[in-house]
Amino acid sequence: MNISSFKLLMMLKLLVVSVLAFTSSAYASNFNAVFERTFGDHRVRTFGQGDQSLSLSLDKYSGSGFRSKKEYVFGRFDMQLKLVPGDSAGTVTTLYLSSDQTTGTHDEIDFEFLGNVSGQPYTLHTNVFSQGKGNREQQFHLWFDPTKNFHTYSIVWNSKLIMFMVDETPLRVFRNHEDIGVPFPKNQPTRMFSSLWNADDWATQGGLVKTDWSKAPFTAYYRNFNIDSATPRTAATMSTNGKTTLGAWRTHDLNAWGRRRLRWVQKYFMIYDYCADMKRFSQGYPAECKHSRI
Ligand SMILES: *[C@@H]1O[C@H](CO)[C@@H](O)[C@H](O)[C@H]1NC(C)=O
């Protein structure tokens, strides 16, 4: 082999390697590669090039849902979502991390989107369960119409905090208060779940407004997810595209901008805070409420 054909070979190799790298990042948000259906048969649908889009639907007979094939402890979890438009009363769209719920001591980090009648705002409900205990609800209205465009909903979870974000704006921070005896999710492997289902006995305006089934099927759309995490069996931080990342989520915390945004959301868009519900906690607030410094 002479020098120039050797060079040519190396160039070819480089080309093959870069094509492979390209296809592995195209794999990045392939729903079928990372998630599996939990219920709802054909109501879970993936579509588009490389199955990079997914829809869930709900009709009179069933809702639908999916979950990650892998389990995670800590990480950053992003999903773009476009919610059921128009009259979505009685529908609930969920996006959450949960460990095995049959244990009775499971951990869970929840986003739930409660639908409404046309023209009325969705309620974004959040909750954190640690070792089976939840009752830590905060609820928000959104500053945009979540049915018009895709928006990014994120959970950052590390050993110090759990942060809920919408389009990078932090809505809520739940800090690790193990130092004062509040259990914090950190040991149980979780999966990422999402579902669309009917809960018209409680979801909309406290259950007063029922689902209008003449509007069914109800459909929510998903795309551009990213999970950046260490699975329980691998120490390295990997993204769902298979690449090693810097794992910025490990040290993620509020910066000055985030703190300002959080205050803005909590001032103008928070509609319920368990730490301010005196009637419910007349015997005294949960321990973490006294330490809810931002
Ligand atoms: C629905 O709209 C009403 C009236 O604007 C509002 O009070 C409520 O928070 C909204 N969300 C739900 C889920 O009921």
Length reported for the chain = 294
Q: Report the percentage of the chain scoring pLDDT > 90.
A: 83
Position 135 in a domain: yes
Structural domain including 30 reads 25-291
The C-alpha atoms of residue 38 and residue 62 are separated, in whole angstroms, by 12
Q: Report the percentage of the chain scoring pLDDT > 70.
A: 88
Position 283 in a domain: yes
Position 9 in a domain: no
Give the distance (Å) from ligand 1 centre to CA of residue 141.
8
Give the CATH number of the domain where residue 83 resides: 2.60.120.200
Position 19 in a domain: no
Which of 39 and 231 is assigned the larger pLDDT?
39
Tell me the pLDDT band of 16, cut-offs 50, 70 and 90: very low
Give the distance (Å) from ligand 1 centre to CA of residue 204.
7
Instruction: Find out whether 154 and 162 touch, Cβ atoms under 8 Å.
Output: no
Position 2 in a domain: no
- State the total domains in the chain: 1
**What per-residue confidence (pLDDT) applies to 24?**
44
Tell me the pLDDT band of 124, cut-offs 50, 70 and 90: very high
**Residue located nearest, by CA, to atom 9 of ligand 1:** 123
Position 20 in a domain: no
The C-alpha atoms of residue 241 and residue 28 are separated, in whole angstroms, by 4
The model's pLDDT over 58-100, given as tens digits with 9 standing for 90+, comes to 999 999 999 999 999 999 999 999 999 999 999 999 999 999 9
